[in-house]
Structures are given as structure tokens and as C-alpha cells.
């Protein structure tokens, strides 16, 4: 069996293909992610999947793929038009400004959104092609936000991690996006989502609640059939590499040149991509304000701002470049002299070595983005200054501000205050050594290697906490498995519906069975007695599956409709009367206290719905109600079920386990049972089979391994493949065609407990 591998996906590859004459040239790039993942390669080699940097004609794709494989990378080929819509149009024209809280810069258009979807699908296809069961997938950043769910759609059951490198905006901002729900659903395909700061997690949770009505806890979000872990993991850098750089080559040259050129002057540095989120104009204005209001610094301070050109084809970025050029001209015009230029503006890429030398020469770093996921420059500055110490003036709106309390935090919009803090920093020569020491400690502890390893450890934990090792992935081809039903003449199949037969959807009304599900059930019903055992009500099951020759169990086991019959039989005498007397007043009290909530009276259950209540307040009230019910129902024969924005109380006899126990009692000839489920209510079915059926059986958990079932399957789609296989493999026994109860007659169930 091939070894499980890691697949990393990001928009760009760590190498870029450029056309040279008839062929292609590969150049390696060194971004923060490349550094971070270098160490991962030492842990286990991985394949890095992404766009090679240029459109590649179909005829040359095989050669390019082969070349890229030499670098451990694999290409996703995307045409120019789609790439434009995906990258410039939606990713950078909508998600980038929106996630940085800059709503007025969002330019939403449907065509770009469609291109975004198509490119995310191309990534999901490419990943699915490379993946084998047991592999792990790590998807990076907002451009690939839809990939996790698209991987689930393709039936992949491997652990999928997603890391968001930029902030997550407040729910209020997020929900203005016309496709907010689709983007969230895309992300929720992941098993683990990483953020730089807790603030982003809390925004994300609020967006899930407000946009999708999905509740969560600080560290996880439970969907019907699986959990998504949320983790705060600020990225780091490689401080040892920076430290080593400072003592040699270009970094040392730059340090010496800058120190010589500005000898006797006080040096402030700013380094960014030229992006409107980085707050460069506001920063220049703050520096201007310093020179205007504190004359003593006018010929003594030099501010070196490096701004790497970025997204140069986009109008907003061109306007920003003009604005910065003008501001630099204005400040130098006003405060420059023949022997002194206050702002040195470098509008190009500078090598990492040169940047390190520059950081090291500057006693103050002015890093004031309006919003920034983390900000690596802040960390690089601290690492480069090392034992020299220094002052870091940092925007409070960066992820780094959450980790570097030794920095002087500022609001970049408050120009006068930033100027004031600059003044204080210049006054207190050398900065505060203790504060700097704290920051240096953080930078050396929280390295990029540690970041990547911790993320992967957590992703592995997600997989192993689900007992992957103990539970086997179902394969009908295995002799031990196939042997269990090879001679079965009276097989019975119990299938949960949501999350088991039909993959998870956020709005339960959308979970209509498709042709493949209906076909599989129909074929299986020709040779086995099939029951769909669901929490859904009668009407829904009848509407969706009522025309098939299968049995239906509704409301978690309240009533059964036998195969071939149109009548529903109620399984228990338990009525809702006692329950209404006991729990009704409490529910009514909560309805009064929670505007928008309501009570639903079911046959043998009572439910409190709060979907229409304020999402946040609803969750709060639900927690209170659960505590009240726990007290009230102690030692009483009732069970509390927590569903999607509903709390339901029902008699304990109303359970899927009791229901299938009754079916099996009525069908003593049963010689094989197949059972599949995916949520807590299905555990009861598995326990009933374990305790009261001693023939051969196969119990399968869908979505992940679970202690209650011997086997597991990655997804509903994968299970469907098994059901189709089962329908082919089972030996039909026409004489025992199971249309009803034993004897082939649609009988009536009258089971009273």
C-alpha cells in the first residue's frame, strides 16, 4: 500500500514557470510559506499543488508537469480568462478588500464569481486526482476558500486542513457579500481551520451563526455529521536564518552602506507590499505630522519606506502608487534640504538579504497596516535587530499585535497619535530593552517550522482522534467482508438518511435524494429488505422515498412504514400528553423570553425551535434551557435531542435502536444485516445490532471512523458505491423477495411497550 502523503495547495507554486523561447524556465521563489514548509519536507515529503505562474498551452502541459515534478510540485492549469476572473476579479477584487474590512473597495460581479468557482473546482479536481485514502490535504488561503467543500463533493474522506492567512472580517461586513453563504460553506468542508488570531475565529463563528445559522464553540463547530476544529496559530519566520544572514554577504553590505550614508541621523524603516491595506499613505502623513509639529527632528530623521510593487494591473493599486508618490514628493519638497532628504522611497523588490541589512540598521520600525492577517515584517525586524534591540511601532490591527505586546501599538488612522509615538520613540533612544526581549523571545519560540508542524499535528489529531487506526475502511472486496453476505438469503439493510445516504447540506430542505441514491435503493430493494431509518417526519420521507419498495422509519423510530405498505404503524403507546404537562410550561416560558422562538407539538415529542430568534441570543437561551431540562428530566424516561437550532424532548422508547430491534424481531429469518449511519442517533442502531442480532453483519460509520461501528466510509458518495456493489453481489432469492414481513406479506406492526 502506498504511504499516506501530504498534499499542500496554494494559489501559486513555490516555483514559477516563465516562457523562454520555445521552452520554459523554472525559477524558485522564497515567500514566507516556502520557508515555513521547508521543515515540513524534512518531516515527510509532500506534493505542492498550484498554478505555475503562466497559462500553459495544452500541448506543453505534459512537459511542464514533468519538469515541475522535479521540484515536488504539481500544476493546476488555468486559462488566462478564468485566471483573471478568479484572481484579479473575485479573490483580489472582493475577498481581499472585504476580509480587510474595506467594503468600499469591493467590486462584485457574477462573471468573476463564476470564474472563481471554476478555478476552485480545477484545484479540487487536481487534488482529488493525486489523493489516496489516508492522505492529508492542507489548503492555503482565501483564494481557495471553496476547495474544502469541493473536495467533499468529490467523495474525499481524507483530513482537510485550511489556513487563512488574512483576517476574517466582522460578520456584519462579511454578510454584505452576495455569495457569503457559498464562501462559508466552502470553508466548512475542512476538518481544521487555522487563523492567526482569536479575533478572526470569533468573527468566523459569528458569520457561521448569522449567515448559516450554524452554532459553534470557541474551538469547534459541529455540523450534523462531523465537527470542524478551529485553531489559532499565528505564523512565524525562521529567525535563525535571519540571524545568520546579518553577519555576512549582502545583508552586511547593506547594513554598512546604510549606516554610513545616514551616519548621525536617526533611521526609521517601513517595508511592505504596495497595498492599500498596509496604510502607507497614513504612515507618511504621520511622519509628515512629526516633522510639522516637532521641528527638532526635521534634519535629523530619515524614514526609509520600501514598497514592493504588487497587483500593478489593478486600478486601485495604480491610484495608491500615485498617492504615495505625491505624498513622498510633498514631504521631501516641504522638509528636504540640499543635504537632507527626509523620506527615502524605494518602490521595488529588494532581496531578503538587503532587507535584513536595512532592518538591522534602523533603530525604529514603523509598521502600521490598516488591517493585516499577521505581518511578517514585524517579526523579521525583531529577528534582524536581535541583540541590538530597537523600537517596533505596530498597528493594533495586525495579527502580530496579538503576539508582540512589547511593541508600541498604535491606531494607524490616528495620525497625530502615531506622530506622537514616533516622537516618544525618538526621545527614548534605543527603546525599551525588556519589551524588545519579550518580542525576541516570541519570534524565536514561534518559528515558521513550529507553526507548520503544529498545524499538521493538529490535523493528524483530527484524523487519529476519530480512531482511524482501530476502525477499518470498508472494502466489499475483502474476503472476510464479502463472506459475511455471500450466502445470505434474507438480508436486511438499515440506512440512516442525512449524512449517510445524502451528503451533508446546510439547509435540510435541500437534501432531496438524487437519481443515483434512488437507483441504488431501488436495486438493493430487489434483493434485500431495505429500511431508511431517519429523524425526518413522515411527510418528508413519503415525498422523497415513498414511491420506492422500501421500509421507512420516521422521527427517530416513532413510526414504521413496512416495505410494500402505505400505512404507518406507530411503535409505541407513549404519547406526548405527559411530556406536554411536564415540559410544556418550561418551553412556553422560553418562547416568551426569546422573541422569534416557537414550540412544535409532535406526536410523542415536544420541540423548541429558535431558528427565527436572534442567532446569538437564541444560542444563549438554548444553553439555559438545556440546563433546566437536565434538572427537570432527571430519572424520567425522556431524552433530550439537540438539533440544528432546535431542542427536542421525546420518550426514550422512541429511538432508532428500539425501532430496528422491533423490525428484527418481526423478521426472525434475517441472516445478514447491513447498517450505516453517521450521527449520535445512529449509535442506538449499532448497539441494537451488537446486542440482539447474532448473525453476520456489517456496521458502517460514514464520514469518519467511530467507536460504535466496525467499519467506516469516507463519505456518503463512497457508501453509495458500496450499496451499488452490494446490490450486484448479493445473490437474489426471488422466492424470498422481501416486500413485507416474514412470509412476503405486508403485515401490521403492533408493538406496544
Active site residues: 496
Minimum separation from the CB atom of position 393 to ligand ADQ (A) = 15
> Which runs of consecutive H residues, i.e. helices, occur in 409-568?
415-427, 433-445, 448-464, 479-485, 515-527, 538-545
CA distances from residue 68 to 37, 77, 113, 552 in whole angstroms, order as listed: 17, 12, 29, 53
Report if residue 308 touches ligand ADQ, rule: CB under 6 A: yes
Minimum separation from the CB atom of position 358 to ligand ADQ (A) = 10
Build a one-symbol-per-residue string for 115-154: x at contacts with ligand ADQ by CB under 6 A, - elsewhere: ----------------------------------------
Q: Name which of 448 and 529 has its Cβ closer to ligand ADQ.
A: 448
Minimum separation from the CB atom of position 372 to ligand ADQ (A) = 4
Minimum separation from the CB atom of position 343 to ligand ADQ (A) = 15
Express the helix, strand and coil content of the chain in percent, nearest 5 each: 45, 20, 35
**Residue among 267, 377, 606, 683 that touches ligand ADQ (CB under 6 A):** 377
CA distances from residue 727 to 9, 192, 497, 499 in whole angstroms, order as listed: 38, 36, 18, 21
Minimum separation from the CB atom of position 199 to ligand ADQ (A) = 13
Minimum separation from the CB atom of position 378 to ligand ADQ (A) = 8
Minimum separation from the CB atom of position 453 to ligand ADQ (A) = 16
Do residues 417 and 425 make contact, with C-beta atoms less than 8 angstroms apart?
A: no
Report if residue 374 touches ligand ADQ, rule: CB under 6 A: yes
Select from 361, 386, 365, 388 the least CA-distant residue to 377: 365
Minimum separation from the CB atom of position 166 to ligand ADQ (A) = 5
3-class secondary-structure state, position 22: coil
CA distances from residue 215 to 211, 557, 623, 645 in whole angstroms, order as listed: 11, 26, 11, 8
**In angstroms, how far is the first alpha carbon of the chain from the final one?**
51
Scanning 7-15, 371-379, 381-389, 450-458 for contacts with ligand ADQ by CB under 6 A, the matching segment is 371-379
CA 704 to chain centre: 17
Do residues 450 and 236 make contact, with C-beta atoms less than 8 angstroms apart?
A: yes
Q: Name which of 353 and 678 has its Cβ closer to ligand ADQ.
A: 353
Q: Name which of 171 and 269 has its Cβ closer to ligand ADQ.
A: 269
Bridge partners, 222 (sequence order):
227
Distance CA 494, CA 504 (A): 19
Q: Which cell numbers hold the place of 660? A: 430496528
Distance CA 145, CA 150 (A): 10
What b/e readout covers 23-41, taking b as 16+ CB neighbours within 10 angstroms?
ebebeeeeebbbbbbbbbe
Let me know if 162 is exposed, middle or buried by CB neighbors in 10 A (0-12, 13-18, 19+).
buried
For cell 470557541, what's the residue?
A: 218
Cβ neighbours, 10 Å, residue 321 = 17
Q: Name which of 187 and 377 has its Cβ closer to ligand ADQ.
A: 377
Q: Name which of 32 and 535 has its Cβ closer to ligand ADQ.
A: 32
**Residue among 37, 122, 124, 376 that touches ligand ADQ (CB under 6 A):** 376
CA 6 to chain centre: 17
Report the run of H or E that residue 9 belongs to, with start and end: strand 6-12
Residues 217-236 that bind ligand ADQ (CB under 6 A): 235
Q: Name which of 378 and 689 has its Cβ closer to ligand ADQ.
A: 378
Q: Name which of 375 and 534 has its Cβ closer to ligand ADQ.
A: 375
| DSSP one-letter code for 684 | H
Q: Which cell numbers hold the place of 134? A: 489516508
The size of the chain, in residues, is 753
Select from 409, 375, 372 the least CA-distant residue to 100: 372
Cβ neighbours, 10 Å, residue 562 = 26
Residues 8-47 that bind ligand ADQ (CB under 6 A): 32
Scanning 337-345, 373-381, 539-547, 738-746 for contacts with ligand ADQ by CB under 6 A, the matching segment is 373-381
For cell 441504488, what's the residue?
A: 520
Select from 171, 153, 151 the least CA-distant residue to 161: 151
Build a one-symbol-per-residue string for 237-276: x at contacts with ligand ADQ by CB under 6 A, - elsewhere: ----------------------------------xxx---
> Which runs of consecutive H residues, i.e. helices, occur in 247-304?
249-261, 280-293
Select from 102, 47, 117 the least CA-distant residue to 75: 47
Report if residue 690 touches ligand ADQ, rule: CB under 6 A: no
Scanning 370-378, 414-422, 455-463, 641-649 for contacts with ligand ADQ by CB under 6 A, the matching segment is 370-378
Q: Name which of 224 and 447 has its Cβ closer to ligand ADQ.
A: 447
Build a one-symbol-per-residue string for 343-362: x at contacts with ligand ADQ by CB under 6 A, - elsewhere: ------xx----x-------
Minimum separation from the CB atom of position 32 to ligand ADQ (A) = 5
3-class secondary-structure state, position 620: helix
Residues 162-181 that bind ligand ADQ (CB under 6 A): 165-166
- Judged by CB under 6 A, the number of residues near ligand ADQ is 19
Report if residue 375 touches ligand ADQ, rule: CB under 6 A: yes
Minimum separation from the CB atom of position 583 to ligand ADQ (A) = 50
**Residue among 306, 407, 591, 730 that touches ligand ADQ (CB under 6 A):** 306
CA 344 to chain centre: 41
Rg of the Cα atoms in the chain: 31
Q: Name which of 318 and 351 has its Cβ closer to ligand ADQ.
A: 351
Report if residue 373 touches ligand ADQ, rule: CB under 6 A: yes
Minimum separation from the CB atom of position 197 to ligand ADQ (A) = 10
Q: Name which of 165 and 502 has its Cβ closer to ligand ADQ.
A: 165
**Residue among 372, 562, 679, 722 that touches ligand ADQ (CB under 6 A):** 372
Q: Name which of 342 and 373 has its Cβ closer to ligand ADQ.
A: 373
Q: Name which of 373 and 535 has its Cβ closer to ligand ADQ.
A: 373
Minimum separation from the CB atom of position 353 to ligand ADQ (A) = 10
Q: Which cell numbers hold the place of 492? A: 436486511
Residue ranges binding ligand ADQ (CB under 6 A): 32, 165-166, 235, 271-273, 306, 308, 349-350, 355, 372-377, 380
Amino acid at each position: 500500500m502506498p504511504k499516506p502523503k501530504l498534499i499542500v495547495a496554494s494559489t501559486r507554486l513555490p516555483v514559477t514557470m516563465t516562457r523562454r523561447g520555445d521552452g520554459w524556465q523554472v525559477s524558485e521563489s522564497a515567500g514566507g510559506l516556502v520557508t515555513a514548509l521547508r521543515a515540513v519536507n524534512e518531516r515527510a515529503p509532500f506534493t505542492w499543488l498550484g498554478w505555475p505562474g503562466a497559462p500553459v498551452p495544452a500541448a506543453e502541459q505534459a512537459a511542464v508537469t514533468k519538469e515541475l515534478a522535479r521540484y515536488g510540485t504539481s500544476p493546476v492549469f488555468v486559462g488566462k480568462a478564468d485566471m483573471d476572473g478568479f484572481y484579479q476579479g473575485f479573490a483580489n477584487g472582493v475577498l481581499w478588500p472585504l476580509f480587510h474590512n474595506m467594503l468600499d473597495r469591493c467590486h462584485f460581479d457574477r462573471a468573476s464569481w463564476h470564474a472563481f468557482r471554476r478555478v476552485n473546482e480545477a484545484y479540487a479536481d487536481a487534488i482529488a486526482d493525486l489523493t489516496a485514502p489516508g492522505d492529508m490535504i492542507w489548503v492555503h488561503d482565501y483564494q481557495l476558500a471553496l476547495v474544502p467543500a469541493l473536495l467533499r463533493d468529490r467523495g474525499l474522506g481524507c483530513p482537510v486542513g485550511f489556513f487563512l492567512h488574512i483576517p476574517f472580517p466582522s460578520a456584519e461586513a462579511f454578510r454584505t457579500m452576495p455569495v457569503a453563504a457559498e464562501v462559508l460553506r466552502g470553508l466548512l468542508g475542512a476538518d481544521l481551520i487555522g487563523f492567526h488570531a482569536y479575533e478572526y475565529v470569533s468573527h468566523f463563528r459569528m458569520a457561521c451563526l448569522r449567515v448559516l445559522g450554524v452554532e459553534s464553540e470557541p474551538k469547534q463547530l459541529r455540523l450534523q455529521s462531523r465537527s470542524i476544529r478551529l485553531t489559532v496559530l499565528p505564523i512565524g519566520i525562521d529567525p535563525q536564518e535571519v540571524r545568520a544572514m546579518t553577519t555576512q554577504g549582502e545583508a552586511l553590505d547593506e547594513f554598512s552602506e546604510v549606516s554610513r550614508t545616514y551616519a548621525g541621523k536617526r533611521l526609521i524603516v517601513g517595508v511592505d507590499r504596495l497595498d492599500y491595506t498596509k496604510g502607507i499613505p497614513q504612515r507618511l502623513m504621520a511622519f509628515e505630522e512629526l516633522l510639522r509639529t516637532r521641528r527638532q527632528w526635521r534634519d535629523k530623521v530619515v524614514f526609509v519606506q520600501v514598497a514592493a510593487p504588487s497587483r500593478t494591473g489593478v486600478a486601485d493599486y495604480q491610484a495608491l502608487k500615485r498617492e504615495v508618490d505625491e505624498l513622498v514628493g510633498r514631504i521631501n519638497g516641504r522638509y528636504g534640504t540640499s543635504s537632507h532628504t527626509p523620506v527615502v522611497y524605494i518602490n521595488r523588490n529588494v532581496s531578503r538579504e538587503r532587507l535584513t541589512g536595512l532592518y538591522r540598521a534602523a533603530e525604529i520600525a514603523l509598521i502600521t497596516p490598516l488591517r493585516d492577517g499577521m505581518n511578517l515584517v514585524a517579526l523579521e525586524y525583531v529577528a534582524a535587530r536581535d541583540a541590538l534591540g530597537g523600537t517596533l511601532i505596530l498597528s493594533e490591527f495586525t495579527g502580530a499585535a496579538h503576539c508582540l505586546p512589547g511593541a508600541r501599538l498604535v491606531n494607524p488612522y490616528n495620525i497625530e497619535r502615531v506622530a506622537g509615538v514616533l516622537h516618544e520613540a525618538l526621545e527614548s533612544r534605543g527603546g525599551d530593552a525588556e519589551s524588545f526581549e519579550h518580542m525576541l523571545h516570541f519570534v524565536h519560540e514561534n518559528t515558521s517550522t513550529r507553526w507548520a508542524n503544529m498545524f499538521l499535528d493538529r490535523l493528524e489529531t483530527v484524523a487519529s482522534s476519530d480512531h482511524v487506526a482501530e476502525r477499518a475502511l470498508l472494502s466489499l472486496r475483502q474476503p472476510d467482508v464479502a463472506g459475511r453476505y455471500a450466502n445470505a438469503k434474507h438480508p436486511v439493510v438499515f440506512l440512516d438518511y442525512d449524512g449517510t445516504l445524502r451528503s451533508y447540506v446546510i439547509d435540510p430542505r435541500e437534501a432531496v435524494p438524487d437519481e443515483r441514491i434512488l437507483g441504488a435503493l431501488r436495486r438493493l430493494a430487489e434483493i434485500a429488505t431495505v429500511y431508511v431509518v431517519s429523524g425526518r417526519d413522515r411527510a418528508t420521507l413519503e415525498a422523497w422515498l415513498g414511491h420506492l419498495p422500501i421500509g421507512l422509519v420516521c422521527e427517530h423510530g416513532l413510526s414504521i412504514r413496512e416495505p410494500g405498505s402505505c400505512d404507518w404503524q406507530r411503535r409505541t403507546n407513549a404519547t406526548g400528553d405527559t411530556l406536554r404537562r411536564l415540559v410544556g410550561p418550561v418551553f412556553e416560558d422560553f418562547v416568551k423570553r426569546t422573541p422569534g422562538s416557537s414550540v412544535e407539538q409532535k406526536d410523542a415529542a415536544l420541540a423548541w425551535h429558535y431558528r427565527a430568534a436572534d442567532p446569538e441570543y437564541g444560542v444563549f437561551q438554548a444553553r439555559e434551557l438545556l440546563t433546566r431540562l437536565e434538572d427537570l428530566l432527571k430519572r424520567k424516561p425522556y431524552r433530550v435531542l439537540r438539533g440544528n437550532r432546535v431542542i427536542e424532548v421525546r420518550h426514550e422508547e422512541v429511538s432508532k435502536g428500539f425501532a430496528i430491534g422491533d423490525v428484527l424481531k418481526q423478521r426472525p429469518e434475517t441472516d445478514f444485516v447491513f447498517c450505516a449511519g453517521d450521527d449520535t442517533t445512529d449509535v442506538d442502531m449499532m448497539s441494537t445490532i451488537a446486542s440482539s442480532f447474532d448473525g453476520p453483519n456489517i456496521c458502517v460509520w460514514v464520514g469518519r471512523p467511530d467507536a460504535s461501528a466496525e467499519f467506516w466510509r469516507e463519505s456518503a458518495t463512497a457508501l453509495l458505491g458500496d450499496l451499488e456493489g452490494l446490490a450486484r453481489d448479493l445473490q437474489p432469492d426471488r422466492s424470498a423477495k422481501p416486500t413485507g414481513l416474514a412470509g412476503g406479506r405486508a403485515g401490521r406492526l403492533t408493538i406496544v411497550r
